[in-house]
Structure 1
Amino acid sequence: MEEATQTAKREQLSYLGYLAELLLAEVDDRDRRSITRRVQNAAFPRQKWLADFDYDANPNINPATIHTLAQGDWIRRGEPLCLVGDSGTGKSHLLIGLGTAAAEKGYRVRYTLATRLVNELVEAADEMQLNRTIARYGRVDLLLIDELGYMELDRRGAELLFQVLTEREEKASVAIATNEAFSGWTKTFTDPRLCAAIVDRLTFHGTIIETGTDSYRLNHTRHDIAG
């Protein structure tokens, strides 16, 4: 009788263990699907991973700084990030890579080009949907704005962008990639006072990483040609 009881207990424990394994597998599967969904919702134009970044090719980038940013504490604090450097120096790679890392940690992320964002805001204003559009961008934890400074923005576009930045100020993070030093932003934002206000929104309590002037892509192309 006692032996039968012990056997029944072992079978029960075995069954409970099996159920626990099933439950853990289901949780892991849901986590993976959730991560995949957040990455997809971020609307990245292409996949970029921080693990693939070639720090040897750009010594301006401190791996320890990027590793710290990848943990996401700056996003939790609502702080901004600016990646400043010439074309081909890895700004977009880092921007997308950090965005992907944030999505994997559970943050809601959205990627957009600066001109695309401004065009969307202008269209929304024309259709009397501006508040709704700004609120939608305000709900994400991390807004990534790429190629800021490549094209001049008229006063209306700059003012609409400023509204998005003000909506997120010290509440939710904005990360930008720009090929123009802050001293040259008056070429993008032609109103000096508005330009200063935008720079203030994007740098206050933030991290600024200068990626330099040597093109990573150009150096690789030269290496391939030489090889």
Structure 2
Amino acid sequence: MKSITAYKQLNLTHLQTALPQLLETARREQWTYETMVERALGAELDGREQKATARRLKAARIPSKKTVEGFDFSFQPSLSERRIRELADLSFVRTCTNVIFLGPPGTGKTHLSLALANRALAEGHSVLFTTLAELAQSLESASHPGLMRQRLRRYIAPSLLIIDEVGYTRLTAEQAHHFFELVAARYEHGSIILTSNTSFTGWGALLGDEVLATALLDRLLHHAEVIAINGSSYRMKERRTESRTPSTLSDTARHAAGDLPTGV
């Protein structure tokens, strides 16, 4: 019982779980005292890192697991694979540089954002994913200034903030002001990955205020990598493939049944 209390007091919860197996292996392999201490400390540190990783992943609210390796660069020839792989070394996070993906819907902007976010999580950075609509609603619905500051801190705190789907929803004056506050607060303090289907010239209409849009873009783009993807939609490609598949299967079945002559 004393040993259990000692584990809790010293916060060695992972070592408590791992110790029986460590002791068994130490006896079998005749570890030295130094080896035993190193393995015991290693087990505790590994357990803490796994727990921290799981906590960061849950807090990040990443909707799906995407990777750079899983992106089909051959389908988007306008996109530089080398540039994306350079971003994947995460120097932009360390230097508080923003990354802006611009392009039509379905061209892989969100995939690349999530791939970089997952890489950042794996390297121990704190991450948070949101859409602009979710962000705007969350900040606007704060019922008093204290709650507003608390929610704003939630988006300011992570090393990397992903804001997806900018351009799909026009913001109210209040929402646009909150969006500006957030970008200004993160300026030179934390990285933002942002995806948008709207060119920067259209942000005045998006925010309903040309002056505010100019001020926001000034901060957002001062330290930023802007990557335009001028290609076709992956989703439309998959839809075209799926639309052909039933017809092919149907023709095959009809050939087998003798309903279609050979060569049709």
Larger Rg: 2
- Band the TM-score falls in, shorter-chain normalisation: 0.7 to 0.9
Distance 2:43 2:141 in 1: 45
RMSD across aligned positions (CA): 2.0
Q: Secondary structure at the match of 2:198?
A: coil
Q: How does 1:1-227 map to 2 (within 5 A)?
A: 11=30, 13=32, 16-17=34-35, 19-124=37-142, 126-128=143-145, 129-227=147-245
Distance 1:202 1:218, change over 3 A: same
| Most deviating of 152-161 and 62-71 | 62-71
TM-superposed CA distance for 1:90, in Å, is 0.4
Q: Secondary structure at the match of 1:176?
A: strand
TM-superposed CA distance for 1:82, in Å, is 0.4
Distance 2:59 2:65 in 1: 13
After superposing on structure 2, the runs of 4+ consecutive aligned residues of structure 1 that deviate more than 6 Å are: none
Distance 1:157 1:122 in 2: 6
Q: Secondary structure at the match of 2:165?
A: strand
What TM-score results when the alignment is normalised by the length of structure 2? Answer: 0.75
Distance 1:90 1:29 in 2: 35
Structure with higher RCO (Cα < 8 A, 6+ apart)? 1
TM-superposed CA distance for 1:26, in Å, is 4.2
Distance 1:93 1:169 in 2: 24
Distance 1:106 1:22 in 2: 22
For structure 2, list consecutive stretches of 5 or more residues without a partner in the other structure. Answer: 1-28, 246-264
TM-superposed CA distance for 1:223, in Å, is 2.9
What TM-score results when the alignment is normalised by the length of structure 1? Answer: 0.87
Instruction: String of CA shifts for 1:16-68, please: whole Å, max 9, x gaps.
Output: 43553454344334333322321221011222222211111212222221222
For structure 1, list consecutive stretches of 5 or more residues without a partner in the other structure. Answer: 1-9
Indicate the percent of aligned positions where both proteins have the same amino acid: 30
TM-superposed CA distance for 1:113, in Å, is 0.8
Preserved CA contact (<8 Å) 2:204 2:212: no
Q: How many residues align?
A: 216
Distance 1:141 1:12, change over 3 A: closer
